[in-house]
Amino acid sequence: MKKLTFGALMILTVTATASAAMAQDAAAGKTSFNKCLACHAIGEGAKNKVGPELNGLDGRHSGTAPDYNYSDANKNSGITWNEATFKEYIKDPKAKIPGTKMAFAGIKNETEINNLWAFVSQFDKDGKIKQ
């Protein structure tokens, strides 16, 4: 019985720790997103700026944010945004999509990239945080 109780406690601890780590990642990602704010918006009421708004990015086809004037390179890239694609792109946008208008040198730090994805991917297409 003691082993069963101990096992259950371990599972609860691991689950709670994982949830806290995910929340910390998104919070750290919000800080990283400050680098993006000059050109991009996210969240309720987000509008296109120099770059498109990023609500609902996970699963969205590149070049399809409403009312944003994308480069042909971006519109024709064939990319559907997901975690792996975003992480590759954000390291060096011009290498991933040659001809993109995005003038950003990229983020090289893996932890920061992971945190940024945790933040960006939590928003649905309406700018609400997914439940």
Q: Residue 10: what pLDDT?
A: 44
Q: Residue 21: what pLDDT?
A: 43
Q: Residue 50: what pLDDT?
A: 97
User: Each residue of 60-82: pLDDT tens digit?
Assistant: 999 999 999 999 999 999 999 99
* Local confidence band at 24 (pLDDT 50, 70, 90 cut-offs): low
Q: Residue 20: what pLDDT?
A: 41
User: Each residue of 86-130: pLDDT tens digit?
Assistant: 999 999 999 999 999 999 999 999 999 999 999 999 999 999 999
Q: Residue 19: what pLDDT?
A: 42
CA distances from 57 to 14, 47, 92 (A): 29, 14, 18
Q: Residue 1: what pLDDT?
A: 57
| DSSP per-residue codes, 41-87 | --STT----SS---TT-TTPBTT-STT----HHHHTS--B--HHHHH
Q: Residue 36: what pLDDT?
A: 97
